[in-house]
Amino acid sequence: MKYFEFGQEHPELMVMLHGGVCYRGALTVAEKMAKTYHVVLVAYPELVCL
């Protein structure tokens, strides 16, 4: 499984499952949430990002 982590300095964890769309669409949200949370954004390998 491929995933991206943001805000690792924060103790509270938020795992983002983006619901069948390309993970790139959730990057902006993940970066904003990383100001408060340790964010793990899952990038499903079967989805193709164009």
Contact at 8 Å (CB) between 26 and 41?
A: yes
* The predicted structure's pLDDT at residue 13: 96
Phi-psi domain of 11 (left: phi exceeds 0; alpha: psi -120 through 50; beta: other): alpha
Residue 48 carries which DSSP code? P
**β-pair type (38-43, 2-6):** antiparallel
Query: pLDDT by residue (tens digit) across 10-46?
Result: 999 999 887 666 788 888 999 999 999 999 998 876 6
Burial class (CB in 10 A: 0-12, 13-18, 19+), 36: exposed
- Global pTM? 0.80
